[in-house]
Chains A and B, each alone.
Chain A
Amino acid sequence: MAKTLAMFTDTSLCIGCRACQVACKQWNELGAELPEWTGSYQNHHHFTDKTFRLVRFMEEPKPNGEMAWLLMSDVCKHCAQAGCLDACPTGAIHRTEFGTVNINQDICNGCRYCVAACPFGVVSFSHDTGRASKCTFCNDRIHNGLGPACAKACPTESIQFGFRDDLVKKAERRVETLKGMGFKDAQLYGADTKGFLGGLNAFFLLLSKPSTYNLPENPKLPQRNVLVDSLLSLGSALVVGLGALLAFRSRGEGDGDA
């Protein structure tokens, strides 16, 4: 396998210009959508089948009582342990040689299990194509030596593209710098490969706790439930089966009401 590629989104540098969102739309030929009123400059509320990069606008009160913007350009996390990939029954969702997660549109049959299995609500069903869609990590671009369109378009280097190991080191240094500047809640989200979901290949630097950004504090792989729940179902089957056996077992006896 080639070295894992990653995107590092440093929210402390984001100015909310949405160049990434537009570049993503342009490059991936994602159609126009009706806007949604979200109460801020954010559009839309969530990822859609036509919005793979989404700049989130959050407001948080500062110590002096004024409101401060927290901006975050959100994207598919390309999880090392991806719920959507494990859920996909057709094999359409696959991991590329760069460690990213992609949906093969020629195979997807639109069952939508991946939509429900994504801990971040990234995967979206397209009623136009009848298939699931999400960020491709600009698969066509990275296979031709170009970075993802969003990273290329970002004017502040809030979105950086590169080898995962290099980016994590860079990100860790950046957290230290920010802490020195007084951003005491500065933290990385998804950088640790020993952390949740085996690490995210699109990871983030946040200035506040994850829930402020509508991110789960501790996302879990949905498939962790399969074994226990199956065993509990088996237990239920044994009890029910035994009940039926008791009701019908009557060789040589009368048939009750019969």
Chain B
Amino acid sequence: MPKPPGWEMMIVWYFFLGGIAGGAYFTAAIADNFGSARDGRVAKIGYLIALPLTALCGLLLTADLGMPTRFLNMMRTFKFWDPMSIGAWAVGIFGLFTFASSVLSFRGSPRAIALRRKVGLVGLFVGFFLASYTGVLLSATALPFWTDARLMGALFLASGASTGMAAISVVMFLTGGSGGPGWGKVKKADRYSMIVELIVLALFLALLGSAARPLTIGHFAPLFWGGLVGLGLIIPLALDLVGHRLKVMGAVSAVLVLVGGFVLRYVVVMSIQS
């Protein structure tokens, strides 16, 4: 019988923070390139969220290794069919993009802004990758439920998007920009992402059928239904739709989305390993 790998809390945190970093970055890059000039603040916040989180991701991944001093051994090979191999490369490359975009966020010259947009336009693909490959990594194992989950990557991507956008909203709210330019757009984008996430989640469960049992019934079920589906998706969507003129409501909803994103990674990783 297949063995669980013993990936626990550090990996749960990595999946969660990597999703936020990827999601915040591609949201920032889209705002930067396709929004109005006044959306620059969204872009800057997104880039600046992605940088420290990506650094933290690298630290978490290294610390979780059995031989942390050998983390560079991941760079000995490049296997395009192996999510762990490309993922290790992607974290490093994404770190470079978040660094460049963050540095350029402090420069106001038209040339720097133009460059930042171009960097973002390329980096957003790495951001999409980072937010989704962790799901494919789990499905490319021999373990039941993980290996049966055709939409794990798609679900992680939608969750990365919604949590990345939620993180941008929370930072905007805390730094006093909640009523300023971009707030409404980030919230709107987050609503779209949550709706996509709900649809993908429904398809995910439908395709899994009885293989979804570790999530849907048993020990982790209350957390899955209550923490992710209820508190993390349906309630924040309802709060947003009812009270989207109220900034506090928007911020509360964003915090709940973040909680839901963490619960998703937690139940997926831990339910078949405990």
Please give the distance in Å from A22's CB to the nearest CB on chain B.
23
A-B contact pairs, 23 of them (CB 8 A): A90-B74, A90-B76, A110-B65, A116-B2, A121-B1, A125-B5, A125-B66, A129-B66, A222-B141, A225-B147, A229-B140, A229-B151, A232-B151, A236-B157, A237-B128, A237-B157, A240-B157, A244-B27, A244-B192, A248-B185, A250-B35, A255-B182, A257-B187
For A228, list chain B residues within 8 Å (CB). 150
Q: Which of the 9-residue segments A36-44, A81-89, A139-147 touches chain B?
A: A81-89
* One of B5, B38, B143, B161 near A112 (C-beta < 8 A): B5
- Cβ A236 vs Cβ B74 within 8 A: no
Question: Which B215-256 residues sit within 8 Å CB-CB of chain A?
Answer: 244-245
Q: Count of B residues near A, CB < 8 Å?
A: 78
User: Within 8 Å of chain B (Cβ to Cβ): is A150?
Assistant: no
State A126–B157 Cα separation when bound (angstroms). Answer: 33
B residues near A (Cβ < 8 Å) are 1-7, 26-27, 30-31, 34-36, 38-39, 42, 64-68, 70-71, 73-74, 76-77, 79, 81-85, 87-88, 124, 128, 132-133, 135-137, 139-143, 146-147, 150-158, 161, 165, 179-189, 192-193, 196, 200, 244-245
CB-CB < 8 A to B182: which residues of A? 255, 258
| CB-nearest residue of chain B to A112 | B5
Interface-centre pick from A89, A125, A223 (highest chain B CB count, 10 A): A89
Query: Does A195 touch B at the CB level, under 8 Å?
Result: no
**Residue A102 at the chain B interface, CB threshold 8 Å:** no
A96 within 8 A of B: no
Among the interface residues B71, B181, B188, which one has the most CB atoms of the partner chain A within 10 A?
B188
Q: Known interface pairs A110-B67, A233-B153. Does A120 touch B77 (Cβ–Cβ under 8 Å)?
A: no
Partner of B2, one of A118, A229, A233, A249: A118
Q: How far is the CB of B220 from chain A (nearest CB, A)?
A: 18
CB distance from B170 to the nearest CB of A (A): 17
Across the A-B interface, give the 7 residue pairs with the lowest CB-CB distance, nearest first: A110-B66, A130-B66, A257-B184, A243-B192, A233-B153, A236-B154, A109-B70
Indicate which residue in A83, A116, A230, A236 contacts B196 across the interface (CB closer than 8 Å).
A236
Q: With a CB–CB cut-off of 8 A, which chain B residues contact A86?
A: 79, 81-82
Interface size class of A (residues with CB under 8 A): 35 or more
A38 to B220: give the CA distance in the assembly, Å: 27
Q: Report the separation of the CA atoms of residues A113 and B5 in the bound assembly, to the nearest whole angstrom.
A: 7
Question: Which residues on the A side are within 8 Å of B87 (C-beta)?
Answer: 89
Cβ–Cβ contact B81 & A117, under 8 A: no
Q: Are A117 and B38 in contact (CB under 8 A)?
A: no
Whether A116 pairs with B188 at a CB distance below 8 angstroms is: no
- The residues of B that contact A109 with a CB separation of less than 8 Å are 65-68, 70-71, 73-74
Q: Are B140 and A223 in contact, CB atoms less than 8 angstroms apart?
A: yes
**Could you say which residues of chain B place their CB within 8 Å of the CB of A241?**
26, 30, 124, 128
The CA-CA distance from A111 to B66 in the complex, in Å, is 6
Chain A residue contacts of B151, Cβ below 8 A? 229, 232, 236
Known contacts A235-B154, A257-B179, A258-B183: A222-B147 contact under CB 8 Å:
yes
Interface of B is mostly: helix
Return A171 CB to nearest CB of chain B, in Å: 25
Residue numbers in B under 8 Å from A91 (CB-CB): 73, 76-77
> Of A91, A92, A240, A255, which is in contact with the most chain B CB atoms at under 10 Å from its CB?
A240
New A-B contacts (12) at CB < 8 Å, excluding given A130-B67, A225-B136: A91-B76, A91-B77, A110-B66, A113-B84, A116-B2, A120-B1, A240-B193, A243-B189, A244-B31, A245-B34, A248-B39, A255-B184
Q: Which residues of A contact B143 (CB under 8 A)?
A: 116
Please name the residue on chain A nearest to B146 by beta carbon: A116
Q: Give the residue of A46, A130, A230, A237 whose beta carbon is less than 8 angstroms from that of B65.
A: A130
Q: Which single residue of chain B is at the shortest CB-CB distance from A242? A: B192
Cβ of A229 and Cβ of B139 under 8 Å apart? Answer: yes
- Tell me, rounded to whole Å, the shortest Cβ–Cβ distance linking B127 to chain A: 9
Q: Assess the B81–A226 pair: CB atoms within 8 A.
A: yes
- Chain B residues with Cβ under 8 A from A229's Cβ? 135-136, 139-140, 150-154
- Residues on B with C-beta less than 8 A from A92 are 73
A122 to chain B, nearest CB (A): 8
Tell me if A246 and B192 are in contact (CB < 8 A): yes
Is B84's CB under 8 angstroms from A89's CB?
A: yes
Interface-central residue, B2, B186, B193, B244, by most chain A CB under 10 Å = B2
Q: Closest residue of chain B to A124, judged by CB?
A: B3
A70 surroundings in chain B (CB, below 8 A): none
Closest B residue to A248 by CB, please name it: B35
CB pair B34 A256 closer than 8 Å: no
The answer to whether B5 touches A237, judged by C-beta atoms less than 8 angstroms apart, is no
Q: Judging by beta carbons under 8 Å apart, are B154 and A256 in contact?
A: no
Give the complex CA separation of A10 and B4 in angstroms. Answer: 29
